[in-house]
A and B are shown apart, each in its own frame.
Chain A
């Protein structure tokens, strides 16, 4: 307790200093010089591995994997503009039957790093390959959607996936099991990167993939580094979403997060040309406060993943929506901000919606308006109305030990206590936590989590967390929220092809779900990253809260 208080005080002190000098700061990235072509960019990772096998990757379209592999479509990713789907290898797709079949046309003149042309058959092979049990583990939004996918086990035994046709080298046609308006987004996920037909059956394909992007992987030393050099068969003439500025990109693996931070602060030697791929932690942010040079090299996102308090809606007393509504007023979101990053500025804005900023169609609303610190009296009144005038029985509040969650849980615990809601915090290792919250049986009452969509559509904000199909079995519907009407509306919104119309439906769903209070939205979590002084054009768009690796360059 004393220790966490001291840490909090330290973080607060740092945060105050940060905001104090933050008033006249130029906008993030403004102090960066213009990137030029050439040089070696270094990316410092605390993980020991980086996986370049598209089938096994869950990398965002704008990070590591995107340097080596292109997909059918890409993301428009600029600060201040909502994300939208844009052409990559192919156009953004056409459907003439309301979203059940989709046709994409590949650009002309595309080549792999080995010089062979990229054809529709290679894209098909790549998608088929992702169905092989040997290569599972990547993003699999397509697996339940493509016709024949449910029983398909990959192309290596000669079977083809019924739902993909390639009438010619440049045309690829998908037949889905149901209309799906976000299909152009789904084909921006890693599995839609081409793999030369017939290749990639070896387990270590990730260490020598055939590249379609600006870089090829020339050396992969496990736990040490991955070295990318230019793909001679790539050019900006055929790729509008990747700048391909540095001559080389080196991923340094297995670096301690604190040391990464220290190295980038020191900004000497090769580290001038480096940026850290992991978030700068609250403690490190506090350390940066007094260092003007490092402060200028800190890039913080405008918004980010939705942090939320989830209720186990399948268990009394939280199966009662009225009880859950009381929590909307009981929680002090400002103290959550302080617990997560020291202050509101660094933690992120208070959340009142499920759909996150930067997603097209998002509407801002607040169903439970109150001051940011909450209204414990109103919560008490609601609990009394719900039949609990003397408060609730003690609740089991389970959180993961990782990512500072125990501290955050304490802040929520304290704010709930103001409304007479008593909780016992139970911390679990991340493995055990995942099994407890995503498994088939759940005994907890409350938990804290956060969600960042895998692609920039409100669908990816809402469906994984609130569709009843995602309860248990590894699914992320932690609140075990089950509402037939919402399931039907999700189905309808997913089937809507027109983005404006779909956006409107998702925004309605956002409100509809929050009326039932399966979660309390807390904040849109900001992420901060640190770069060396010679790294240029490192920016973070409104969505996702990660730098766009595809545009980063270095200055001499």
Chain B
């Protein structure tokens, strides 16, 4: 019962956050001097054409009105224009991209598998290597192994993904010619090709992210290993593997899971730079396009979706706490 209430409160909070994000995005677009209708005005752009484009796209109303229309559209769907050329966006309508001639939700749906493939693979890779390296570094504290792990993680944290991506392509794609330089193949079409094409992007993303996990795991592990209960466990005569693997790691994972949830959530919203460098048609590319083309509906959709993922990830992390740490359980 208490769990149900807890989940209910969290979900209500999540919805509120999403509402505020949507509201702010609209407000920001209203405040900056940019007219989304300009992109559909054509050249030469006349006052009359601009007004027509604005009305058709629903950008003629005051911004709060537009926002209410948007929220209403989620429940009831929307129609743009009138007559034979009217565009209907069925409920739940999260907006319509006039540049891509598609409902925003459909566009996100088309791109999601790519971003999901990229994010999930990279996350798995960085979680295993990052946490693994962190544990090793903590256990071999002060040794060359520790220093190497730290040095690599500093490099990973500091190097821009764009640069690492390009260098990766240059080295593995062109010079050594071992992986393809870009593009995406559906998992359903060919799982081998799918993984092969994603291998380099996975590695690049993992390199950038793993660093945080290495450092986090290492410092947590060092703290934990000083705790009394670890001494007790050792005194009981447990093997070192059991002490570290069962007793220590479980505590170390709590902060790691928190960071991981948010990282994965934001990555699913679009790994903008990585997708761009490797020519992957994911949500990041969609977002860039939305920004470049002043595609306000698409931008709003992508922003809301990213916020949705992060909020969801946070809720899931909260739920995971219970599983990892009995103290966090409600009943």
Contact = CB atoms under 8 A, between A and B. Distances in A.
Interface of A: 47-49, 58, 132-141, 143-144, 150, 153-154, 156-157, 201, 203-204, 206-207, 221-224, 252-256, 258-259, 262-263, 266, 268, 429, 431-432, 434-436, 438-439, 454, 464, 470, 473-476
Interface stretch (B189-197, B238-246, B283-291): B283-291
Contacts of B35: 435
B102 A137 contact: no
B46 A259 contact: no
B286 A201 contact: no
A487 to B, nearest CB: 15
B107 interface: yes
A158 to B, nearest CB: 9
B262 interface: no
A48 B286 contact: yes
Nearest to B34: A431
B170 A140 contact: no
A254 B276 CA distance: 7
Given A204-B101, A224-B184, A258-B166, A136 B52 contact: yes
A133 B38 CA distance: 13
B156 to A, nearest CB: 21
Interface stretch (B17-25, B137-145, B174-182): B174-182
B272 to A, nearest CB: 11
B41 interface: yes
Interface of B: 32-35, 38-50, 52-53, 55-56, 81, 83-87, 99-102, 107, 110-111, 166, 169-170, 174, 177, 181-182, 184, 276-279, 281, 285-286, 288-289, 292-294
A259 B83 contact: no
Given A223-B281, A259-B277, A133 B53 contact: yes
Contacts of B45: 140, 438, 473-475
B289 to A, nearest CB: 4
Chain A interface, DSSP helix/strand/loop, else mixed: loop
Closest 9 CB pairs of A and B: A474-B45, A431-B34, A156-B84, A134-B85, A223-B281, A48-B289, A133-B56, A435-B33, A140-B42
Contact of A222 (B86, B107, B174, B182): B107
B81 A262 contact: no
A547 B48 CA distance: 34
Contacts of A473: 45-47, 50
A254 B33 contact: no
A136 B289 contact: no
Contacts of B281: 48, 221-224, 253-254
Contact of B181 (A154, A263, A464, A474): A263
Contact of A266 (B40, B110, B174): B174
A255 B34 CA distance: 26
A431 B84 contact: no
A254 B101 contact: no
B148 to A, nearest CB: 30
Contacts of A263: 181
A302 to B, nearest CB: 25
